[in-house]
C-alpha cells in the first residue's frame, strides 16, 4: 500500500510533490490578500458547508472520470496488487489532490472573507473530506450502472445541509456517509476506476483537407464535461437577468456577456491534446487554417450562450434593440479572439489531470479583460 500511494502521489503531485507546495502557497497568498483588505461578508454556515461538499465532489468526479492518468493505472494493474489496498490508496491520493489543489483555495477564501468559529471550520473540512469518499463510492456505483442510490445519497446530504442547517446534524451526516462509503469501497473492484480508451476507428478522408469545424464539434459532443459546462453556462445565462434586476439604473447587460466568456474546456481544446497542437505548429499552413476555424468555433458557442442570455434579458426586462445584439456579437468575437491568442501563445503545460487544466488561473484572464470592457461599455 505504501508503494502504491507513493507512485500515485508522484503521478498527481509531481516527482517532487511540487503541486502541493504551489497550491498551499497560493491558498496562503489568497487568504492574506483577502483578509488584508478588511472586507468582511455575513455568510451563513450552510453556504460554507454546501460549497465544501459540492465543489469538492465536482472536482473529485472530474478527476475520477479523467483519462490523463489511466496509462499509469494500466501499468500498475500489470503488477500484482491487493485490491482493497489499491482502492483505498487510489481514493486517498485523489482525495488529497482535490482538497490540496482545489478546495483549499475555496476554504481560504471563505475563512478570510467571513468570521467563523473553529467548530464551523472543522465541520466544513469534514464535509470536504466526506465529499471525496462519497464521490468515489458514487463513481464506483455509476460505473456498475447503479445511478439511483448515489442520486438519493446526494439528495439526502443536500436536504440535511439546506433544511436542518445545524452543524451537529451536518457533522453526523458526514460521519455516517464516510462510514457507508468506506464499507462500499472495501468491497469495490479496482477496475471500476479504470476507463479504457475508446478504440479509434480508421477514417478514410475523401477530400483534400479535413474539416476543422467538424473535428471541434465532435470533440464537444464526445466529451460530456464540455457539454455539461456549456449547458451550465446556458443555465447561468437564464438566471443572470433575474440577478441583474436588483441593480436598477445601471447597465448590467455587458457584465453578463463578460461572465459568460468563462467556458474553459472549450478554450483549452489544444492544451488538452499536446500531440495535435504539435502537429498543427509543425505542418506548413496548418496554423492559420486551424486557428481561424477554432476562433469561429468559440465565437459560435459564445454566441449561442449569449443569445440565450439576450432572450432571457428580453423576457425579464424587455427593451432589447440592435445595440444589445451588436454588443453581444462584439463580446462573443472579442472573447473568442482573446481565447485563441492565449491558447496559441501561452498553452497550458505540465498539467496532471483534466481538472488541473480546466481550473488553471489562465481561465480568468479573458473574463477579467471582458469585465473591464463591460465596465467601459456600461458607462
* 300 and 342 assigned to the same domain: yes
Residue 108 maps to a domain: yes
Local confidence band at 246 (pLDDT 50, 70, 90 cut-offs): low
Query: Residue 343: CB partners within 8 Å, gap ≥ 6?
Result: 267, 268, 269, 270, 271, 294
For the stretch 298-333, pLDDT in tens is 899 899 999 999 998 888 877 778 888 999 999 999
Asked if residue 208 has pLDDT above 70, the reply is no
The answer to whether 264 and 358 have CB atoms below 8 angstroms apart is yes
For residues 206 and 40, the model is more confident at: 40
Kindly state whether residue 136 falls inside one of the protein's structural domains: yes
- 88 and 168 together in one domain: yes
Give the pLDDT score at 377: 79
Other Cβ atoms closer than 10 A to 133: 23
Q: What is the pTM of this model?
A: 0.70
The C-alpha atoms of residue 374 and residue 342 are separated, in whole angstroms, by 20
Structural domain boundaries enclosing 365:
212-378
pLDDT of residue 209: 52
Residue 202 lies in a domain: no
Q: What percent of the chain has pLDDT over 90?
A: 27
CA proximity to 161, closest of 151, 149, 153, 173: 173
User: Can you tell me whether residue 353 is helix, strand or coil?
Assistant: coil
- 134, 128 in Cβ contact below 8 A? no
Is residue 216 one of the residues assigned to a domain?
A: yes
Residue 201 CB coordination number (10 Å):
5
Q: Are residues 66 and 184 in the same domain?
A: yes
Tell me, yes or no, whether 152 and 253 share the same domain: no
Same domain, 83 and 128: yes
Q: What is the pLDDT of residues 339-361, one digit of tens each?
A: 888 888 888 877 766 666 767 77
Cβ atoms of 240 and 309 closer than 8 Å:
yes
| DSSP assignment of 81-149 | --HHHHHHHHHHHHHHHHIIIIIHHHHHHHHHHS---HHHHHHHHHHHHHHHHHHHHHHHHHHTT--HH
CA distance 73 to 71: 5
In which residue are the cell numbers 499509469 written? 72
Q: End of a domain among 193, 224, 259?
A: 193
Same domain membership, residue 369 and residue 239: yes
Residues 358 and 276 in one domain: yes
pLDDT digits (tens, 9 = 90+) for 22-35: 888 888 888 888 88
Instruction: Give Cα separations from 289 to 71, 206, 210, 293 (angstroms).
Output: 32, 19, 11, 7
Q: Which of 304, 286, 283, 305 is nearest to 294 (CA)?
A: 286
The percent of residues above 70 in pLDDT, for the chain, comes to: 90
Domain assignment of residue 229, yes or no: yes
As for how many domains the chain has, the answer is 2
Q: How confident is the model at residue 287 (pLDDT cuts 50, 70, 90)?
A: low
The answer to whether residues 116 and 51 touch, using CB atoms and an 8 Å cutoff, is no
**Sign of torsion over alpha carbons 348, 221, 284, 333:** negative
The mean pLDDT value of the chain amounts to 83
pLDDT band at 204 (very low <50, low <70, confident <90, very high): very low
Tell whether 250 and 372 lie within a shared domain.
yes
Same domain assignment for residues 71 and 216: no
Query: What would the pLDDT profile of 74-99 be if each residue is shown by its tens digit?
Result: 778 887 788 888 899 999 999 999 99
The answer on pLDDT for 196 being more than 70 is: no
Average the pLDDT over 114-135 and give the result. 94
Q: What is the pLDDT of residue 210?
A: 54
pLDDT at 13: 81
pLDDT tens-digit series, residues 141-176: 998 888 899 999 999 999 999 998 898 999 999 999
Q: Is there a single domain that holds both residue 139 and residue 57?
A: yes
Average pLDDT, integer, range 284-294: 75
Residue 205, in any domain of the structure: no
Q: Is residue 207 situated within a structural domain?
A: no
- Does residue 55 sit in the same domain as residue 103? yes
Asked if residue 78 and residue 110 are part of one domain, the reply reads: yes
Amino acid at each position: 500500500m505504501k508503494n502504491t500511494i507513493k507512485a500515485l502521489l508522484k503521478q498527481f503531485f509531481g516527482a517532487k510533490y511540487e503541486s502541493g507546495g504551489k497550491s498551499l502557497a497560493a491558498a496562503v497568498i489568497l487568504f492574506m490578500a483577502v483578509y488584508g483588505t478588511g472586507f468582511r461578508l455575513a455568510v451563513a454556515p450552510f453556504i460554507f458547508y454546501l460549497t465544501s461538499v459540492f465543489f469538492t465532489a465536482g472536482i473529485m468526479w472530474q478527476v475520477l472520470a479523467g483519462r490523463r492518468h489511466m496509462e499509469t493505472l494500466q501499468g500498475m494493474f500489470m503488477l500484482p496488487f491487493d485490491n482493497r489496498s489499491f482502492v483505498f490508496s487510489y481514493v486517498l491520493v485523489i482525495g488529497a489532490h482535490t482538497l490540496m489543489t482545489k478546495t483549499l483555495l475555496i476554504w481560504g477564501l471563505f475563512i478570510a472573507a467571513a468570521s467563523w468559529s473553529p467548530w464551523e471550520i472543522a465541520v466544513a473540512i469534514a464535509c470536504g473530506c466526506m465529499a471525496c469518499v462519497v464521490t468515489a463510492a458514487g463513481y464506483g456505483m455509476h460505473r456498475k450502472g447503479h445511478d439511483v442510490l448515489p442520486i438519493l445519497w446526494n439528495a439526502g446530504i443536500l436536504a440535511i445541509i439546506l433544511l436542518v442547517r445545524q452543524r451537529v446534524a451536518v457533522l453526523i451526516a458526514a460521519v455516517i456517509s464516510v462510514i457507508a462509503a468506506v464499507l462500499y469501497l472495501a468491497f469495490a473492484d479496482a477496475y471500476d476506476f479504470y476507463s479504457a480508451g475508446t478504440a479509434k476507428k480508421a477514417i478514410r478522408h475523401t477530400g483534400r483537407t479535413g474539416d476543422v469545424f467538424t473535428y471541434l464539434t465532435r470533440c464537444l459532443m464526445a466529451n460530456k464535461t464540455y457539454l455539461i459546462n456549456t449547458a451550465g453556462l446556458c443555465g447561468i445565462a437564464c438566471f443572470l437577468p433575474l440577478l441583474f434586476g436588483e441593480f436598477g439604473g445601471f447597465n448590467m447587460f455587458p457584465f453578463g456577456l463578460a461572465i459568460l466568456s468563462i467556458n474553459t474546456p472549450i478554450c483549452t481544446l489544444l492544451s488538452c491534446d499536446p500531440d495535435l497542437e504539435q502537429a498543427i505548429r509543425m505542418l506548413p499552413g496548418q496554423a492559420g487554417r486551424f486557428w481561424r476555424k477554432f476562433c469561429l468555433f468559440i465565437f459560435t458557442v459564445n454566441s449561442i450562450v449569449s443569445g440565450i442570455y439576450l432572450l432571457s434579458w428580453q423576457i425579464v426586462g424587455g427593451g432589447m434593440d440592435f445595440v444589445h445584439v451588436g454588443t453581444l456579437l462584439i463580446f462573443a468575437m472579442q472573447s473568442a479572439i482573446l481565447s485563441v491568442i492565449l491558447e496559441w501563445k501561452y498553452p497550458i503545460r505540465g498539467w496532471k489531470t483534466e481538472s488541473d487544466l480546466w481550473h488553471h488561473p489562465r481561465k480568468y484572464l479573458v473574463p477579467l479583460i471582458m469585465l473591464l470592457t463591460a465596465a467601459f461599455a456600461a458607462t
